[in-house]
Amino acid sequence: MVTLGAMFSAVWIVVANSWQQTPAGFHVVGEGMQARAEITDFWAMVFNPSSVERLTHVWLGAFLAGTFLIMSVHAYYILRKRHVELSKKAFSIALVVATVSALLQLVTGHSSAEVVAEHQPAKLAAMEGHYDSLAVADLYIMGWVDDETKEVTGIKVPGGLSFMLHQDLETPVTGLDSFAREDRPSMVNFVFQTYHIMVSIGMFLIALSLFSIWLLYRKKLFDKPWLLWVFVWSVFLPQIANQFGWYTAEVGRQPWVVYGLLRTSDALSETVTAEHVLFSLIMFTVIYILLFALFIYLLNRKIKHGPEDDELHQHSPQHKSMSQINA
Per-residue pLDDT tens digits for 242-295:
999 999 999 999 999 999 899 998 888 878 888 999 999 999 999 999 999 999
Measure the CA–CA gap between 216 and 99, rounded to whole angstroms: 12
Q: What phi and psi, each to the nearest 5 degrees, are found at residue 265? A: -65, -20
CB neighbourhood size of 137 (10 A): 29
CB neighbourhood size of 20 (10 A): 18
pLDDT computed for residue 306 by the predictor? 86
Average pLDDT value for residue range 296-322: 69
Given a cut of 80, whether residue 326 has pLDDT beyond it is no
Measure the CA–CA gap between 31 and 121, rounded to whole angstroms: 27
Helix (H, G, I), strand (E, B) or coil at 47: coil
Helix (H, G, I), strand (E, B) or coil at 172: coil
Answer whether 101's CB lies under 8 Å from 63's CB.
Answer: yes
**Integer CA distances (angstroms), 262 to 36, 37, 224, 248, 257, in order:** 10, 10, 54, 19, 6
Given a cut of 50, whether residue 221 has pLDDT beyond it is yes
Q: How confident is the model at residue 311 (pLDDT cuts 50, 70, 90)?
A: very low
Given a cut of 70, whether residue 72 has pLDDT beyond it is yes
pLDDT 10s digits, 156-198? 999 999 998 888 888 899 999 999 999 999 899 999 999 999 9
Task: Report the number of secondary-structure helices (H) and strands (E) in the chain.
Answer: 12, 6
Answer whether 192's CB lies under 8 Å from 247's CB.
Answer: no
Given a cut of 90, whether residue 217 has pLDDT beyond it is yes
pLDDT computed for residue 317 by the predictor? 52
For residue 4, give every residue at least 6 positions away whose Cβ sits within 8 Å of its Cβ, in sequence order, or none. none
Answer whether 248's CB lies under 8 Å from 254's CB.
Answer: no
pLDDT 10s digits, 76-130? 999 999 999 999 999 999 999 999 999 999 999 999 999 999 999 999 999 999 9
pLDDT 10s digits, 116-171? 999 999 999 999 999 998 889 999 999 999 999 999 999 999 999 999 888 888 88
Element (H, E) at 151: strand 151-157
pLDDT computed for residue 293 by the predictor? 97
Burial bucket for residue 320 (CB in 10 Å: 0-12, 13-18, 19+): exposed
Which of 153, 129, 136 lies closest to 252, judged by CA?
Answer: 129
For the chain, give the number of residues.
Answer: 327
pLDDT computed for residue 169 by the predictor? 86
